[in-house]
Amino acid sequence: MYKKFLVLGLSYALMACSGPSTPDSDQHAPANTQTMTDTTKLIGRWDITIDQDGKPAPSWLEVKLSGYRTLVGYFVGASGSARPVSKVTFENGKFSFSIPPQWENGTQDLVIEGQPTAEGIEGTITTSEGKKHNWKGVKAPYLKRTSAPEWGETIDLFNGKDLSGWKAMGENQWEVRDGILTSPRSGSNLISEQKFTDFKLHVEFRYQKGSNSGVYLRGRYEVQIEDSPKEAHPSSVLFSGVYGFIAPSEIAALGPDQWQTYDITLTGRMITVVVNGKTVISNQEIPGITGGALDSNEGEPGPIYIQGDHGPIEFRKIVITPAK
């Protein structure tokens, strides 16, 4: 009996060392180790700057590995929200993908082509109108914080009297009426002259029926202000969403012609949004920039930027508490 068990034990040990005997045992293994090694250079998040005829335009790309060998991702152009990329082709050290137009003029797919370089990635984008531009990208910073912030002194960014401390992006339509910062019609966006890194931001705003605005944090990440119905399914492009990336837990809007509040905390990439006293986003990571951002330099401080090009909007308080 002892010898029988000894022989069986040795047999099972040999079988284990030789691996499974099924003919399809390697069907899920990576096909090409060298190809995957090259591909890993592309995986990650990228802060991109497009050269649009000499004018820099911010953009963003994330590439992920789906399974063993398929690359997928998300792309943010110079405008609009993050768009899914169903497949990124990577061959002979070069990659490419295409996506349908969103808010762009033109009807053809956008085509992005590029390659890894010593400094990051670079390539070309062919727009929906057929124009080709060069671009360069660097790895996006993680923006991790190792300790809780220590808050500094509170600053009133809007003084209730005039536009001191702000500048318009183009011809200015903003004015102060009875202590209220008002954009009576679609026009220029408004940018704070001061720049910030981590902060708590309190804003009180009112919009008209059907209007649309937003508050850009560091000039890069938009918290959406929009006349969204309460019964709408929460979405990243509706009221209080981080545009294109993070949906609120609910639409906690009071509706048009009502004064409402956002209390936003941003530390690194982590954001919390409280709407009219109710937390709808709790310490979530913002992956990348919103289309329409001022730049893609995510590691740098940036201003508060208020959208004024999508309809009338009013603010009566804009108060920020920066981290020390």
Q: State mean pLDDT over 272-296.
A: 97
Q: How many Cβ atoms sit within 10 Å of the Cβ of residue 242?
A: 25
Mean pLDDT of 222-250: 97
Task: Tell me the average pLDDT across 120-146.
Answer: 97
Cα–Cα distance for residue pair 222/81, rounded to 1 Å: 10
pLDDT of residue 80: 87
The pLDDT score that the predictor gives to residue 37 is 56
Question: pLDDT tens digits, residue range 170-190?
Answer: 999 999 999 999 999 999 999
For 80, list phi and psi in degrees, rounded to 5.
85, -170
Q: Is the pLDDT of residue 46 over 80?
A: yes
Q: How many CB atoms lie within 10 A of CB 69?
A: 13
Specify the pLDDT at position 36: 53
| pLDDT tens-place string over residues 6-44 | 444 434 443 444 444 444 444 444 444 445 557 888 999
Mean pLDDT of 133-162: 97
When pLDDT is averaged across residues 257-261 and rounded to a whole number, the result is 98
pLDDT-above-70 percentage for the chain: 89
d(C-alpha 78, C-alpha 83), whole Å = 12
What type of residue is 94? K
For position 32, what pLDDT does the model report?
46
Burial of 178 (0-12, 13-18, 19+ CB in 10 A): exposed
How does the average pLDDT of the chain come out, rounded?
A: 90
Residues 289-319: pLDDT tens digits?
Answer: 999 999 999 999 999 999 999 899 999 999 9
Helix H or strand E segment including 295: none
Single-letter amino acid code for the residue at 85: V
